[in-house]
Structure 1
Amino acid sequence: MGVNDGNLSESRIGLGPGASGDGRSKRYVAWAAAAALITAAGAVFAAGAVADSDATKSRQAFESSSAEIASTLQLAIEHEEDLNLSGAAYLAGNPDGSNAQFLKWSDSIQALTRYPELHDYGNAVIVQAPELAAFAARAEADPWSPLGPSGNFQVEPAGDRAYYCFGTVGQVRDAQVGAPAGQDFCATGLGPALLDARDTGESSYAPFTVGADSVLGVSTPYYRGGVIPATVEGRQAAFLGWFGMTTVPKLLLDRALQGHPGTLVTFRYKTGSSDAEFSSGNAPAGAQSVTTDLHNGWTVQISGAVADGGIVSNGPALALLLAGVLLSVLLGVLVFVLGTSRERALRLVRERTVELRGAQAQLVDAARQAGMAEIATNVLHNVGNVLNSVNVSANLVCQRVRGSKAGGLVKAVALMNEHTGDLGGFLTTDARGKALPGYLEQLAATLAIEREGIDAELLRLTQGVAHIKEIVAAQQSLAGVSGVIESVRVSDLVEEALHMAGINEDEVRVIRDFPANPLLALDRRRILLILLNLISNAMNAMKGNAGRPRELSIRAEVIDGQGLSITVADTGVGIPSENLARIFVHGFTTHTGGHGFGLHSSALAAKEMGGALTVEESAGANGAAFTLHVPLDRERVPA
């Protein structure tokens, strides 16, 4: 700038006809767009990585859950087959035993207690028509279930047939819904399955309804001598009866589903003439399914929700993407603002010059807007501090994803898949199998901790982006012309400066000391700029505090009603005595990346207010203290 007889020379400040900022503006737009695109691309990549990681964990968890449910059901089937074999063996050895003897044997094995899904069980035999009267007499003498209304043995359904299939002994959990003593099972829908089981020597499975329950009837034939003959004719000749039991599969399925919400299980038996299917639980729309063959006629299909790896359906990934996009926009805006600040300042000078050409004092005030470049430097400095925190959080998320212990789960599932055929024996007899449940429990806890850590870093990342926005907004409020006297409290100025400096009070202890805190008439913008520089320098000085506490002390007091004194002290590395004389010199700095503008501009601002900025080193290398003295040449503003 130059002043000649009160007139501003436009050509000397680049505002004449030959000056043009179109080329520079386009270049700044290109830089801003490039910065925004690079940041957005990084956000998309990071969000995709988080979504893929969560999808892998979800799929592995579903596979592990499915294997656990299938294992539970297979073990239950094996236990029920054990009961079938045990019952058939007892009946083969005691074909003429009484019902009381059968109940005594039943109580000894605690069948109803050990098998909550068991509804009833007992023995059934074929009675030829000529033997019906004798059988009825024995049944009336030793009934295994209720007789007819008159206390007599009554065939149900009534009618004359060549043969009948009656129960001889048995036990029912609920006698009110049990079959009557004269029930002819071969005359019901169970008849074909019973005769087929007799001829094949294999157990039959048939679904039917008892009361309000859907149940499964299981009938196991047994033969004379306890051995199954090789031919159909031999099996028909040696046949003694069936050991049958009725189970409520839903109880078994509900027990297997405990701890697995949002899961649907379909349990099916299909072999020969037997075809039975039962389901329990529920699965959300779009659920994935896995079918396991239990290798004994039984299959189990398990359906549940599995993350699809999409960013939109994954909360943390979507949050990371949105934060990255917002950061890219803010970064692009920041690059554009920094690049065009000089053009905007010069344009503002030109507009003010047209209005106030003849007034030199007003021209100087308008030209001072070129100092916006220094404010832009502060914006970059403060945003850079927050970006460091954002970068640390992003790196921590990436490190935790790369170092995840989820690979251990894949190995555990692979180990179980190697022993699918004998998983129960592997888990109970093999040393690795015995250790597997404990390892999975520890792994689940570790993965939960990993997830919490990633969620915490993502929250810090989001907070950092919001903080950048607040810093930009707050710094823009400083862009106005200084010298305006406002009614403020010193405590409010201090808190605003702390916020603009990005102070995290979890990392540094802030000591506030305001003996009196009245409303004062002050140049708010200048004092705020000075406080911001002093606080930022204090934080830089304390970065190397390895074993010493990081404390920032701010004391403000009104002296005799004539002046305001604000002291900012730290516990940092201190200031060498040889640097005290140069501390406020323009361009002097002691930390890497510094420009030497802050303290110099702060000292000038204090002088313009009629005050002074001084420094005092603490004893030893234990920090420094800066004090701002500002005269109060106006009356204190009433509270």
Structure 2
Amino acid sequence: MEKNDELEELNKKWHQILEVAPDAMLIVNEKGEIIFANLQCENIFKYSKEELLGQLIEVLIPEPYKSRHPEYRTHYFKKPRTRPMGSGMELYGQRKNQEIFPVEISLSPLKIKNGLIALAAIRDITERKKIEKTLAELNQKLLLSARQAGMAEVANAVLHNLGNVLTSISVSMECLRDKSRHFQFIKNILRINQLIRDHALDLSEFLSTDKMGKKIPEYLAQFSQLLEDEYNEITREIQNIHSLLKLAIEIISKQEAISGSAMLVENVSVEAILESAIKIADLGKIEKLIITKKIDQIPLVATDQNKLLQILINLIMNGKEALLEVDTPHKKIIISAKKHRNQHIQISVRDNGSGILPENLRHIFSFGFSTKEKGHGYGLHNSALLAKELGGSLKVTSAGVGMGATFTLTLPIKQM
């Protein structure tokens, strides 16, 4: 009786783990019948578990894919293989109300006592597709707006700025795509379940003395922690995408408002703009990077927020790129802001990256000049022009190759 109780308890834990998985989890046998569906399946497909169990998997697939799927399914079980999420295929599911929606699916075969089953993790990517469509429309709208202004430099400037935002969004979306690490764990959970069934008659001894059996409780605890960590990471990435989308829309709105000519001056917080620039530059993606901020008490400054943000993004991105070119164990970017001679503020971005040759310092802000192999020589040139438009200046110092560089933006302190 005790062994049966232990077996029942472990089976419950296995089911609980599959139930709380953030993706819809399905298990299908070789006949194509659904033999397991978790709660997320109900949420995504709008069928109850009772309605799904015993049904052919094709009930969840729309035409024209549905009629061809039995052939694909038969082929899969003849030549089983693991297929990860995000494999580049355009896949669609169908809800109970016949609504068709985009999905990503990872598949993994698993041998059991009576044959072969397939574990499928299904992710509804409707919201991601909407975001991708919004980004494409924003990009097109901005390009048209800039071209209509008839100013190549304005077009390039705003697109350069927006490009950084879109890149950050893309990185966040890639992070979301990568949040399927738990899938391998779930495959292992199924194997654990099979092991437990195989040792039903000697379960206590198996869990206490067998090398593999002793690892099972620890493994289940690790998986539980993994799910919790992934949930928190996914939540943070989604919040980041939404804030960056708002910023992208704001950039476009301001571009349309000023029509490439007039300054849009307002009282702004330098510290807040620096924080936005750091987020867009996505500094956290460099391994072992130390970011230091030294920001003094600075009053609000009357300036064009969008242009100041663009300068700072360019400077921080430049420092990031310089750090990617070196193999130093302690990569640093120091961002400082302070008052300068009462009537000005100075914002500096210093890195310990690749540095600049002395003979290149005088050309660094020239249009088309770049020290990078894939550089276009536009970001720093445009930043220097924008600094002048804001009534300030942009300068650079470097002790040479491998010695890093410091870019200093000086702006007048004015208030509306």
Partner of 1:17: none
Partner of 2:85: none
Task: Note the 1:141-540 alignment, pairs <5 A.
Answer: 307=38, 310=41, 312=43, 321=123, 324-345=125-146, 371-395=154-178, 397-402=179-184, 404-416=187-199, 423-424=201-202, 427-428=204-205, 437-476=213-252, 478-479=254-255, 480-481=257-258, 482-504=262-284, 508-540=289-321
The one-letter code matched in structure 2 to 1:473 is I
Partner of 2:28: none
Q: Does 1:71 align with 2:20?
A: no
Q: Is the CA contact 1:611–1:628 (under 8 Å) kept in the aligned structure 2?
A: yes
Q: Does 1:570 align with 2:346?
A: no
The Cα RMSD (Å) is 4.2
Change (3 A) 1:443 1:486: closer
Task: Note the 1:18-57 alignment, pairs <5 A.
Answer: none
Displacement of 1:476 after TM fit? 2.9
Separation in 2 of the partners of 1:399 and 1:597?
A: 39
The one-letter code matched in structure 2 to 1:501 is A
Change (3 A) 1:431 1:327: closer
The one-letter code matched in structure 2 to 1:310 is C
- 1:181-226 CA-partner distances (Å, limit 9, x unpaired): xxxxxxxxxxxxxxxxxxxxxxxxxxxxxxxxxxxxxxxxxxxxxx
Secondary structure in 1 matching 2:157: helix
Partner of 1:637: 415
Change (3 A) 1:410 1:576: farther
Q: Is the CA contact 1:509–1:552 (under 8 Å) kept in the aligned structure 2?
A: yes
- 1:466-493 CA-partner distances (Å, limit 9, x unpaired): 2432331343354243524332343233
2:367 to 564, 579, 586: 586
Secondary structure in 1 matching 2:43: coil
Separation in 2 of the partners of 1:622 and 1:575?
A: 8
The one-letter code matched in structure 2 to 1:488 is V
Separation in 2 of the partners of 1:604 and 1:439?
A: 63
Displacement of 1:599 after TM fit? 0.6
Separation in 2 of the partners of 1:588 and 1:311?
A: 57
The one-letter code matched in structure 1 to 2:43 is V
Separation in 1 of the partners of 2:6 and 2:403?
A: 70
Q: Which runs of 5+ in 2 are unaligned?
A: 16-35, 46-102, 105-121
Secondary structure in 2 matching 1:565: strand
The one-letter code matched in structure 2 to 1:307 is N
Q: Is the CA contact 1:615–1:625 (under 8 Å) kept in the aligned structure 2?
A: yes
- 1:283-332 CA-partner distances (Å, limit 9, x unpaired): xxxxxxxxxxxxxxxxxxxxxx9726616269xx99x956x333322221
Separation in 1 of the partners of 2:145 and 2:309?
A: 23
Separation in 2 of the partners of 1:447 and 1:436?
A: 16
Partner of 2:20: none
User: Under a length normalisation based on structure 1, what TM-score does the superposition of the two structures give?
Assistant: 0.42
Q: Does 1:627 align with 2:408?
A: yes
Number of aligned residue pairs: 316
Displacement of 1:621 after TM fit? 1.6
Displacement of 1:511 after TM fit? 2.8
Separation in 2 of the partners of 1:496 and 1:309?
A: 35
User: Under a length normalisation based on structure 2, what TM-score does the superposition of the two structures give?
Assistant: 0.61
Which deviates more, 589-598 or 374-383? 589-598
Displacement of 1:625 after TM fit? 0.5
Secondary structure in 1 matching 2:355: coil
Q: Is the CA contact 1:408–1:443 (under 8 Å) kept in the aligned structure 2?
A: no
In terms of Rg, which structure is larger? 1
Separation in 2 of the partners of 1:560 and 1:432?
A: 73
Q: Is the CA contact 1:511–1:553 (under 8 Å) kept in the aligned structure 2?
A: yes
Partner of 1:195: none
Q: Which runs of 5+ in 1 are unaligned?
A: 1-67, 75-255, 264-304, 350-366
Change (3 A) 1:476 1:619: same
> Structure 1 vs Structure 2: percent identity of aligned residues?
22
Change (3 A) 1:431 1:549: closer
- 1:529-567 CA-partner distances (Å, limit 9, x unpaired): 211211121122223554433332222333333433222
Secondary structure in 2 matching 1:310: helix
Q: Is the CA contact 2:182–2:223 (under 8 Å) kept in the aligned structure 1?
A: no
